[in-house]
């Protein structure tokens, strides 16, 4: 279902439209559906470049500042009060997203930049 409904129907179509003939690489996180052998095989066959689960950094969330820093800020700010609905939470997250400042993001970018130097993928 993941391959058919998400990778084929959404990701691949979006990427073809977005990237056109430009080469691009695809990487997923450690969700069971992402690291399944058949999913990995499909991605290698259908994406121009696939970073396989064997090549993933040992702490993959470190490779994405959204996963460990920006979401933490948004969660902390958006959840200062309880929400009565998912819509209320969603609005609060978007409100806080719009309020992010350079001062909030600069330390994240600097840390991320340092981690990229340590985790370069060989060409």
Residues 52, 62, single domain; the answer is: no
Q: Report strand pairing: 49-50 vs 25-26.
A: parallel
The DSSP call for residue 58 is T
Calculate the average pLDDT of the chain. 83
85 has pLDDT over 90: yes
* pTM (2 d.p.): 0.47
pLDDT-based confidence at residue 109 (cuts at 50, 70, 90): confident
Task: Give the model's pLDDT for residue 53.
Answer: 73
Alpha-carbon 88 to chain mean position: 24
Last-in-domain residue among 39, 56, 73:
56
Residues 118, 63, single domain; the answer is: yes
Q: Give me the domain span that covers residue 1.
A: 1-56
Residue with tokens 């200062």: 80
Last-in-domain residue among 13, 37, 56:
56
Alpha-carbon 122 to chain mean position: 21
- Average pLDDT of 84-110? 91
Residues 35, 67, single domain; the answer is: no
Task: Give the model's pLDDT for residue 115.
Answer: 61
pLDDT tens column, 15-45: 999 999 888 888 887 788 888 889 989 999 9
Task: Give the model's pLDDT for residue 50.
Answer: 86
How far is residue 10 from each of residues 14, 37, 57, measured CA to CA in Å?
6, 20, 26
Residues 71, 108, single domain; the answer is: yes
């Amino acid at each position: 279902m993941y391959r058919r409904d998400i990778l084929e129907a959404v990701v691949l179509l979006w990427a073809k439209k977005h990237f056109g003939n430009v080469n691009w690489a695809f990487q997923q996180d450690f969700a069971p559906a992402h690291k399944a052998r058949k999913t990995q095989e499909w991605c290698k066959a259908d994406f121009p470049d696939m970073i396989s689960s064997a090549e993933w950094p040992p702490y993959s969330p470190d490779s994405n500042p959204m996963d460990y820093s920006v979401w933490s800020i948004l969660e902390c700010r958006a959840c200062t009060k309880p929400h009565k609905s998912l819509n209320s939470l969603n609005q609060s997250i978007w409100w806080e997203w719009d309020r992010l400042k350079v001062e909030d993001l600069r330390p994240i970018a600097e840390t991320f930049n340092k981690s990229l130097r340590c985790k370069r993928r060989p060409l």
